[in-house]
C-alpha cells in the first residue's frame, strides 16, 4: 500500500524526527545560532586566506572567465598583440645595436629604471616581463559584459601574482644585485640574511620594524608642548601651549582619522603642522582617539561624532566662550567632520567658522583603489572576522595599503633589505605609518556599508543621531586639500565636494600622496600645488577644466592655508588659560597623553 502521508507533513517529520538526527548526527544549525557557525567558518578561513574574501575573488574570476570564454574576437586580438610584441623583442635581441625599447614601463614603476637593464640579456628579461604585464592587463580589461568592479578585482589580483615573478626579484636576473654582489664579494647576501632574521624575530614577537626605535612618541615626535584638558572613553583632547604673546580669537580643532595615530599632524619639529600653526598665533586643539579593544566593539559612527567632535567642541566652548571654531578633518576624520557639520547646520547655535579637509572623501562612488576590497561579499567577510575579536586589527588594514603598491612597498623593500643587504633608513612618517590602530566592529561595519557600499552621505540618506543630514545645509567656508597621487582618496573624488556643498571652497591640489602631500612643510624640496577659489553659490567646473586653469605655485601650501585661516580667525587676544577649574576644565596630564601609546 503506498504511503499516503501528505508531502508537507513528510517534510516536517524528515527534519525533526529525533531518530533521523541520531542516525545521521546532523546538528541543527538552521536556526539563528547557525549564523554564528557561519561566522566561525569565515574566521577560520581568514587564518589561511587573510582578510580577502575568497567568495569575492571567486565571483570576480568566474565573471571574467565566463565572458572571456565567449569573446573569440577579444582572445584573437590578445594572441595577435602577443606575437607582434614578442616578435619586436626577439628582433631587438638579434640586433644588439637596436637599443630603443619597444615596451616601456610605467612612470611609477622604478624596477627597471637603471641603465643596467638596457644590456642583454637583462633587457630581454625586463621587456619580456613588461610584455606579459601588458598582455595580462589587456586580458583582464575590456572584456565586454564583465562588471567594472569584477574587472578591477581580477586585474588587481593578476598584478599581484605577476609581481611575484618579476625578474627584479631574483639575483640571477637582476643586474643591480649581480653588480653589488661582485663589488661586495657576496657580503650583501650575508647582510641580507641578518636583516631577514631580524625581521622574522620582530614579526614573531610583534615588535615594530627595524629603525622605528629612533622615533619615540613624546621624545622626538609628537613633542609640541601641550596639556590633555579632557578625556572620555573615546578621546583625549589636547590643548597646545601658545608661543606668541597674542593669539587669534577663533581656535583650530583637528579631527584626525582614527585609523591612524594623530601625530601624523605633529611629527618632528621641522614638519609638525601643529607647531607651525601655534607659532603663527593659533590656539590649537587636537583629538587623540583611543585605540579600541574588544570592549569597544559596539562603538558606532554616532559615538565618534558625539564622544569625539561634539565633546571636543563643548570643552572648547567652555574654555573660549562665544566663539566659533575652525575645524580641520583628515581622511576619514574629514568625512566624519562633514557629516557632523551637516547635522550641526540644522541647529540654532552655529559652532563652526570654517571647515578644512585633508584628503577626505564624501562621495564614495569612485573611492580609489581601496574600493577593490569593498563589495557585499567582502564586507560580510570582514564583519565576520571582526565579530570574533570585536575589532579589525590595524595590521590587516596596513596589509591592504601595502598590496595597493606591492612593487614599491613590498618587493622593492625586500630586494633592498635581503638581496642587496642595505637597510632603507626610516624617517618619521614611515615610523608613524607602522604605528597601527584597530577599528571597532560596529563603526567599521557602518562605515563600509553606509559610506562605501551605499554612498548614503551624498544622497541625503546618512543619519546622525537618528536624523538624516544634507550636505547642502553646510554654508561655512571650506579649504579642501587633495593630493595628486593619492590612491586612498583620489583627488577627482575629493573634488566632488563642489557638487554637494554650496559654500565658498578653496580647492588645493598638491603633489605627493595621501600622507606625504599633507605633511608638506615650508622648505620641503620639490613641492608645488595648484589652488583656485569658488565663491559661495558659484558655478561648477569639471576636474579637467579646473586642472587646466588653476594657477600653480611653487613650495608648500601651508602658508596659503594659514593666511586663509587667519582671515577667518578674527582679532588677536590674550591666550586663553589652559586650565579653568571653575568651569570644570582641569589639566589631566601632559601632551601627548596616554591614548597615543596604546598598542
* Catalytic residue list: 331
CA distance 433 to 465: 32
CA distance 283 to 268: 19
For residue 14, give the H/E element and its range.
Answer: helix 7-16
C-alpha atoms less than 13 angstroms from C-alpha of 544 in its C-beta half-sphere: 0
Give the list of residues 6+ apart from residue 331 with CB closer than 8 angstroms, or none.
256, 257, 259, 260, 358, 359, 360, 488, 489, 514
Per-residue burial over 534-560, b if 16 or more Cβ lie within 10 Å, else e, is beeeeeebebeebbeebeebebbbbeb
Beta bridge partners of 461: none
Q: How far apart are the first and last CA of the chain?
A: 73
Length of the chain: 599
CA distance 119 to 112: 11
CA distance 485 to 479: 19
CA distance 546 to 400: 31
Positive or negative torsion for Cα 70, 73, 75, 76: positive
Task: Please choose, from the candidates 342, 279, 266, the residue with its C-alpha nearest in 3D space to the C-alpha of residue 502.
Answer: 342
CA angle 441, 43, 16 (to 5 degrees): 105
Cell of 71: 569573446
CA distance 97 to 227: 68
For residue 231, give the H/E element and its range.
Answer: strand 226-231
For residue 98, give the H/E element and its range.
Answer: none
Kind of pairing, strands 467-468 and 478-483? unpaired
CA distance 313 to 210: 39
Q: Taking a C-beta distance cutoff of 8 angstroms, is the pair 63, 389 a contact?
A: no
Amino acid at each position: 500500500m503506498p504511503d499516503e502521508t501528505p508531502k508537507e507533513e513528510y517534510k516536517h517529520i524528515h527534519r525533526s524526527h529525533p531518530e533521523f538526527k541520531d542516525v545521521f548526527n546532523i546538528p541543527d544549525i538552521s536556526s539563528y545560532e547557525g549564523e554564528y557557525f557561519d561566522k566561525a567558518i569565515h574566521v577560520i578561513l581568514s587564518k589561511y586566506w587573510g582578510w580577502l574574501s575568497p567568495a569575492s575573488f571567486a565571483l570576480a574570476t568566474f565573471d571574467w572567465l565566463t565572458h572571456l570564454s565567449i569573446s573569440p574576437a577579444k582572445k584573437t586580438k590578445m594572441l595577435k598583440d602577443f606575437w607582434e610584441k614578442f616578435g619586436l623583442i626577439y628582433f631587438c635581441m638579434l640586433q644588439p645595436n637596436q637599443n630603443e625599447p619597444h615596451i616601456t614601463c610605467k612612470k611609477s614603476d622604478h624596477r627597471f629604471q637603471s641603465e643596467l637593464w638596457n644590456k642583454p640579456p637583462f633587457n630581454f628579461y625586463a621587456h619580456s616581463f613588461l610584455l606579459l604585464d601588458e598582455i595580462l592587463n589587456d586580458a583582464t580589461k575590456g572584456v565586454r559584459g564583465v562588471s567594472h568592479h569584477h574587472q578591477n578585482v581580477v586585474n588587481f589580483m593578476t598584478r599581484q601574482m605577476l609581481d611575484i615573478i618579476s625578474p627584479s626579484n631574483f639575483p640571477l636576473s637582476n643586474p643591480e644585485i649581480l653588480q653589488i654582489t661582485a663589488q661586495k664579494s657576496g657580503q650583501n647576501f650575508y647582510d641580507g640574511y641578518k636583516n631577514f632574521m631580524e625581521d622574522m624575530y620582530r614579526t614573531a614577537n610583534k615588535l615594530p620594524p627595524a629603525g622605528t626605535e629612533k622615533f619615540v612618541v613624546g621624545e622626538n615626535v609628537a613633542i609640541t608642548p601641550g596639556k590633555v584638558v579632557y578625556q572620555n572613553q573615546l578621546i583625549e583632547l589636547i590643548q597646545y601651549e601658545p608661543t606668541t604673546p597674542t593669539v587669534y580669537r577663533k581656535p583650530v580643532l583637528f579631527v584626525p582619522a582614527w585609523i591612524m595615530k594623530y601625530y601624523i599632524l605633529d611629527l618632528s619639529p621641522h614638519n609638525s603642522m601643529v607647531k607651525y600653526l601655534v607659532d603663527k598665533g593659533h590656539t590649537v586643539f587636537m583629538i587623540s582617539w583611543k585605540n579600541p579593544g574588544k570592549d569597544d566593539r559596539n562603538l558606532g559612527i554616532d559615538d565618534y561624532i558625539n564622544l569625539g567632535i561634539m565633546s571636543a567642541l563643548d570643552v572648547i566652548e567652555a574654555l573660549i566662550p562665544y566663539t566659533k571654531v575652525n575645524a580641520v578633518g583628515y581622511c576619514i576624520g574629514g568625512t566624519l567632520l562633514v557629516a557632523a557639520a551637516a547635522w550641526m547646520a540644522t541647529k540654532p547655535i552655529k559652532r563652526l567658522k570654517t571647515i578644512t579637509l585633508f584628503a577626505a572623501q564624501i562621495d564614495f562612488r569612485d573611492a580609489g583603489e581601496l574600493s577593490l576590497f569593498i563589495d557585499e561579499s567582502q564586507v560580510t567577510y570582514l564583519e565576520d572576522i571582526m565579530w570574533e575579536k570585536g575589532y579589525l586589527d590595524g595590521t590587516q588594514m596596513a596589509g591592504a595599503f601595502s598590496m595597493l603598491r606591492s612593487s614599491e612597498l613590498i618587493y622593492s623593500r625586500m630586494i633592498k633589505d635581503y638581496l642587496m643587504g642595505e637597510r632603507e633608513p626610516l624617517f618619521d612618517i614611515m615610523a608613524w605609518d607602522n604605528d597601527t590602530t584597530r577599528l571597532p566592529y560596529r563603526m567599521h561595519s557602518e562605515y563600509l556599508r553606509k559610506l562605501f557600499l551605499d554612498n548614503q552621505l551624498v544622497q541625503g540618506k546618512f543619519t546622525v543621531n537618528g536624523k538624516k543630514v544634507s550636505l547642502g545645509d553646510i554654508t561655512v567656508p571650506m579649504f579642501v586639500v587633495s593630493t595628486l597621487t593619492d590612491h586612498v582618496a583620489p583627488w577627482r573624488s575629493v573634488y566632488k565636494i563642489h557638487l554637494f556643498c554650496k559654500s565658498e571652497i578653496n580647492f588645493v591640489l598638491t603633489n605627493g600622496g595621501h600622507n606625504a602631500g599633507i605633511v608638506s612643510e615650508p622648505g620641503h624640496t620639490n613641492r608645488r600645488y595648484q589652488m583656485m577659489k569658488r565663491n559661495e553659490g558659484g558655478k561648477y567646473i569639471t576636474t579637467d577644466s579646473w586642472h587646466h586653469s588653476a594657477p600653480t605655485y611653487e613650495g608648500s601650501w601651508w602658508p596659503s592655508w594659514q593666511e586663509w585661516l587667519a582671515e577667518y580667525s578674527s582679532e588677536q587676544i590674550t591666550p586663553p588659560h589652559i586650565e579653568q577649574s571653575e568651569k570644570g576644565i582641569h589639566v589631566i596630564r601632559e601632551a601627548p597623553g596616554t591614548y597615543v601609546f596604546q598598542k
